[in-house]
Amino acid sequence: GAASKGEYRHFMQKEIFEQPAVIAAALEGRLGERSVPAECFGPDAEALFARVEQLHIVACGTSYHAGLVARYWLERYAGIPVQVEVASEYRYRTVVVPDNTLFVTLSQSGETADTLAALRFAREQGYLGSLAICNVPGSSLVRESDLTLMTQAGPEIGVASTKAFTTQLTALMLLTLAMGRVKGLAAETQAEVVAGLRGLPRLVSRVLELDDAIEALSTAFAEKQHALFLGRGAHFPIALEGALKLKEISYIHAEAYPAGELKHGPLALVDSEMPVISVAPNDELLDKLKSNLQEVKARGGELFVFADEGVGLAEEEGVRVLRLPHVHDALAPILYTVPLQLLSYHVAVLKGTDVDQPRNLAKSVTVE
The site for ligand AGP, by CB under 6 A, has a size of 16
Q: Does 62 bind ligand AGP (CB under 6 A)?
A: yes
Q: Residue 91 CB, nearest distance to ligand AGP (Å)?
A: 14
Which residue is nearest to ligand AGP, using beta carbons?
Answer: 61
Q: Which stretch binds ligand AGP (CB under 6 A): 157-165, 176-184, 208-216, 317-325?
A: 157-165
> Considering the complex, what minimum distance in angstroms separates the CB of residue 167 from ligand AGP?
11
- Alpha carbon distance 182, 49 (integer Å): 7
Q: Give burial (CB, 10 Å; 0-12/13-18/19+) of 124.
A: exposed
- Nearest approach in angstroms of CB 158 to ligand AGP is 8
Position 13 contacts ligand AGP (CB under 6 A):
no
Which of 45, 128, 131, 159 binds ligand AGP (CB under 6 A)? It is 159
Q: Which of residues 232-291 bind ligand AGP (CB under 6 A)?
A: 248
Give the residue with the Cβ less far from ligand AGP, 63 or 101: 63
Measure the CA–CA gap between 338 and 210, rounded to whole angstroms: 10
Judge whether 247 counts as a catalytic residue. Answer: no
Selecting among 183, 247, 297, 363, the annotated active-site residue is: 363
Q: Which of 19, 152, 161, 176 binds ligand AGP (CB under 6 A)?
A: 161
> Which residues bind to ligand AGP, rule: CB under 6 A?
60-63, 107-109, 112, 115, 159-161, 248, 361, 364-365
Q: State the catalytic residues.
A: 363
